C-alpha cells in the first residue's frame, strides 16, 4: 500500500495543537522593513513554546532549543504525535522537561503574516536572510535569550540553522541541520523550483496573484513537487504499475489544495539569497548535519556535504541509508526513522 509521506507537508495549526501541548504566542513587529526595502505595517510572527526555561546565576535562559520547519509548513508540523513521541517525551533527546522548546512559524508560513492573509502578490518579497533576521529578533529582543542551546532545522529550517551559525556565531551553541546543504541552491534543486514557480506565474488562472480558486498550474505542478521529495527506493517499491502512478498523482493533486499558491510561490523564491558557503569559516557552534542517501533533492553523489562540512572545525555529518520504507527528503518529517 502506498503511504504518502507528503501528508506531513501541510499540517494545519489547529490539528497540531490537538496533538502536542504547547503555548501559542504572537509577536507584532511594526513597520517592519525587509532587506529589499519593502515594508509591512504590522508583521505578525507566530510561535509556540513548550517546557520551562532554566536560568543561570545571571538570570539568562540556558536551555532554549529553536526548532525550524521546512518550506510550506509551520511550527505545527514539528508538534505532531510522532515528533512528540520521538523527540520531546521523557528521556528523549529534546525532553520537554529539560529543554525550553521554541517553534516559530516563519514569515510567509502558518499563522505568521503571509500573502494569503489578503495582500496576495502585493506582500513584500522576503528571503531566507529576512526569515533569520526575524527569528533572531524574536529570540534575543522579545524572549531575551542571549544564546540558544541548539537549533534543529529541517530542510529550509536546516538552511536557516547554517545561516544562524555563521551570522550569529555567539548566539547559538550547536546546530543540527537535517537535509540541508551548506551551499547555494543550484542544479536540479534550482530547476525544480523554477518549474513550479513558472507553472504558477504563467498560468492565466493565477491572474497576477488575484485568483479566486487554486491556479491549475499549481495543482498540476504539485505531483512533480511531491515526487522530487520522496525516496527513489520507496517509489520503486510502492508504484509498480499505472494504477499506482495514477493514484499517486491524484493524491498529490488533491493535497495541493491544502496550500495557497501565492504562499508557495513566495516560499520557493525566498531561497534565492541563500549562500552560506563563503561564511562557513565563521561558524563556532557545534555542528551535526544529517542527510539521507535516498534524498534525490540533495543527492549525496554531489559530495557537497562531504566536501563542505570539514571546513567547519569539529563539525560532523551522517549520511543515513535509505530503504523502501523511508521517504527520501521527506524522511525529515518522520523522526521515528
- Each residue of 98-149: pLDDT tens digit? 999 999 999 999 999 999 999 999 999 999 999 999 999 999 999 999 999 9
Helix (H, G, I), strand (E, B) or coil at 328: helix
- Report how far Cα 6 is from the mean position of its chain's Cα atoms: 14
Q: What is the mean pLDDT of residues 231-251?
A: 95
Nearest to 286 by CA among 309, 304, 308, 306: 309
pLDDT of 71 > 50? The answer is yes
User: What's this model's pTM, rounded to 2 decimal places?
Assistant: 0.94
pLDDT at residue number 7: 42
pLDDT at residue number 110: 98
Q: What is the mean pLDDT of residues 53-73?
A: 97
pLDDT at residue number 11: 53
Q: What is the mean pLDDT of residues 37-56?
A: 98
pLDDT at residue number 17: 44
Query: What CA dihedral angle connects 184, 188, 192 and 198, to 10 degrees?
Result: 80
Instruction: Please say whether the dihedral angle defined by the alpha carbons of residues 164, 51, 82 and 337, taken in this order, is positive or negative.
Output: positive
pLDDT in tens, 312-329: 999 999 999 999 999 999
Helix (H, G, I), strand (E, B) or coil at 133: helix
Nearest to 331 by CA among 86, 56, 134: 86
pLDDT in tens, 248-306: 999 999 999 999 999 999 999 999 999 999 999 999 999 999 999 999 889 999 999 99
Q: What is the mean pLDDT of residues 52-63?
A: 97
> 321 and 315 in contact (C-beta within 8 Å)?
no
Give residue 1's pLDDT band: very low, low, confident or very high (50, 70, 90). Answer: very low
Give residue 59's pLDDT band: very low, low, confident or very high (50, 70, 90). Answer: very high
Q: What is the mean pLDDT of residues 186-204?
A: 94
Q: Which residue has the cell 517592519?
A: 32
Q: Cα–Cα distances in Å, from 23 out to 46, 78, 157?
A: 11, 14, 21
> 32 and 40 in contact (C-beta within 8 Å)?
yes
Helix (H, G, I), strand (E, B) or coil at 190: helix
Nearest to 337 by CA among 189, 209, 199, 178: 178
User: Could you give the CA distance from residue 111 to residue 109 in angstroms, rounded to a whole number?
Assistant: 6
Give residue 10's pLDDT band: very low, low, confident or very high (50, 70, 90). Answer: low
pLDDT of 93 > 50? The answer is yes
pLDDT at residue number 197: 96
For the chain, what is the mean pLDDT?
93
pLDDT of 77 > 80? The answer is yes
Buried b (16+ CB within 10 A) or exposed e, 127-165: bbbbbbbbbbebbeeebebebbbbbbbbbbbbbbbbbbb
> 290 and 176 in contact (C-beta within 8 Å)?
yes
pLDDT at residue number 180: 97
User: Could you give the CA distance from residue 249 to residue 252 in angstroms, rounded to a whole number?
Assistant: 5
Q: Which domains does the chain have, with CATH numbers?
A: 5-184+275-333 (3.40.50.1820), 188-267 (1.10.1740.110)
> 119 and 236 in contact (C-beta within 8 Å)?
no
Amino acid at each position: 500500500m502506498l503511504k504518502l509521506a507528503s501528508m506531513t507537508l501541510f499540517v494545519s495549526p489547529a490539528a497540531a495543537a490537538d496533538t502536542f501541548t504547547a503555548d501559542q504566542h504572537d509577536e507584532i513587529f511594526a513597520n517592519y522593513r525587509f532587506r529589499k526595502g519593502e515594508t509591512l505595517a504590522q508583521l505578525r510572527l507566530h510561535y509556540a513554546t513548550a517546557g520551562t526555561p532554566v536560568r543561570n546565576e545571571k538570570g539568562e535562559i540556558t536551555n532554549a532549543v529553536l526548532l525550524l520547519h521546512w518550506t510550506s509548513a509551520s511550527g505545527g508540523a514539528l508538534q505532531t504525535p510522532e515528533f512528540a513521541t520521538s523527540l520531546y517525551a521523557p528521556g528523549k533527546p529534546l525532553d520537554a522537561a529539560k529543554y525550553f522548546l521554541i517553534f516559530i512559524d516563519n514569515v510567509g508560513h502558518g499563522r505568521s503574516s503571509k500573502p494569503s492573509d489578503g495582500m496576495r502578490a502585493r506582500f513584500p518579497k522576503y528571503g531566507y536572510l529576512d526569515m533569520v533576521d526575524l527569528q533572531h529578533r524574536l529570540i534575543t529582543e522579545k524572549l531575551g535569550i542571549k544564546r540558544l542551546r541548539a537549533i534543529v532545522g529541517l530542510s529550509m529550517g536546516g538552511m536557516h540553522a547554517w545561516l544562524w551559525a555563521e551570522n550569529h556565531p555567539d548566539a547559538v551553541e550547536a546546530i543540527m541541520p537535517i537535509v540541508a546543504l551548506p551551499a547555494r541552491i543550484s542544479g536540479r534543486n534550482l530547476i525544480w523550483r523554477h518549474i513550479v514557480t513558472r507553472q504558477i506565474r504563467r498560468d492565466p488562472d493565477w491572474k497576477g496573484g488575484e485568483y479566486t480558486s487554486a491556479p491549475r498550474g499549481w495543482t498540476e505542478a504539485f505531483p512533480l513537487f511531491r515526487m522530487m521529495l520522496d525516496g527513489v527506493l520507496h517509489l520503486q517499491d510502492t508504484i509498480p504499475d499505472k494504477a499506482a502512478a495514477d493514484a499517486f498523482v491524484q493524491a498529490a493533486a488533491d493535497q495541493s489544495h491544502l496550500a495557497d499558491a501565492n504562499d508557495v510561490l513566495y516560499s520557493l523564491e525566498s531561497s534565492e539569497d541563500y549562500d552560506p558557503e563563503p561564511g562557513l569559516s565563521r561558524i563556532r557552534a557545534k555542528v551535526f548535519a544529517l542527510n539521507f542517501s535516498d534524498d534525490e533533492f540533495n543527492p549525496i553523489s554531489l559530495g557537497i556535504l562531504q566536501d563542505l562540512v570539514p571546513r567547519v572545525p569539529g563539525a560532523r555529518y551522517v549520511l543515513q541509508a535509505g530503504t523502501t520504507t523511508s521517504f527520501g527528503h521527506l524522511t525529515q518529517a518522520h523522526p521515528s526513522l
